Amino acid sequence: QQQVKQSPQSLIVQKGGISIINCAYENTAFDYFPWYQQFPGKGPALLIAIRPDVSEKKEGRFTISFNKSAKQFSLHIMDSQPGDSATYFCAASGPPSGNQGGKLIFGQGTELSVKP
Amino acid sequence: KAGVTQTPRYLIKTRGQQVTLSCSPISGHRSVSWYQQTPGQGLQFLFEYFSETQRNKGNFPGRFSGRQFSNSRSEMNVSTLELGDSALYLCASRAATALYGYTFGSGTRLTVV
């Protein structure tokens, strides 16, 4: 119930294409679903996040789609650029006051490579 | 505004030794969390501290411990190091008023030989 499953493990996309990364979770107590971007030698950086009361959130070229009934959420990167090449992690967290609070449960990561 | 600062950036230790890693959160952030990142296990939660109290703990052996000081700075300690403890250790901080929104440091790369 603690797991967040992420796919694919790696993804190669042409410049200008759409990158899609998917995640699934089990624990219905989760109520915060962020995506992090990590470059080599750096810590993860928050990219975009969603709460379960909305089905989609868009920030620039990045969009999260959220399906509460299926317990799935995905990251779409439109017009992918070589500078987007990084490892992407989905995560989930419960309310800070609950026993799942204060900790992020991460997916295994997706290594994205955008070819020029 | 300075980000989350972790020191040192790199460490090499011998099996059986102990190590202390340090984290200075963003100014004003009172919550500090620690994570271990390895190629095999990914990012795993170690513990979270808020106002000097441990609020949540991950599934790690007792050799892993931490503490938080009154200025919100945090340290984590690993005793009796094992080869499998080689990892990137990440610290993240969060403002008390922000339910979520963790900001990560660049981590300490620990190598156990």
Q: Where would I find the H helices in chain B?
A: none
Task: Reply yes or no on whether the pLDDT at A49 is more than 70.
Answer: yes
Phi, psi of A69 (to 5 degrees): -65, -35
Predicted confidence at residue B2, as pLDDT, reads 80
Burial grade of A70 (CB within 10 A; 0-12, 13-18, 19 or more)? exposed
Phi, psi of B78 (to 5 degrees): -125, 120
Report the alpha-carbon distance of residue A2 to residue A4 in Å, rounded: 7
Predicted confidence at residue A99, as pLDDT, reads 63
Predicted confidence at residue A94, as pLDDT, reads 82
| Each residue's pLDDT tens digit, B12-55 | 999 999 999 999 999 989 999 999 999 989 999 999 999 899 98
Task: Reply yes or no on whether the pLDDT at B83 is more than 90.
Answer: yes
Phi, psi of B33 (to 5 degrees): -120, 155
Nearest CA in chain B to A51: B100
- Residues B104, A45: C-beta atoms closer than 8 Å: yes
Mutation site for A-interface testing, chosen from B7, B41, B43 by largest number of A Cβ within 10 Å:
B43
Pairing state between β A110-115 and B87-95: unpaired
Predicted confidence at residue A103, as pLDDT, reads 87
Nearest CA in chain A to B94: A102
Interface check A94 vs B, CB under 8 A? no
Query: In which band, very low, low, confident or very high, does the pLDDT at B101 lie, cut at 50, 70 and 90?
Result: confident
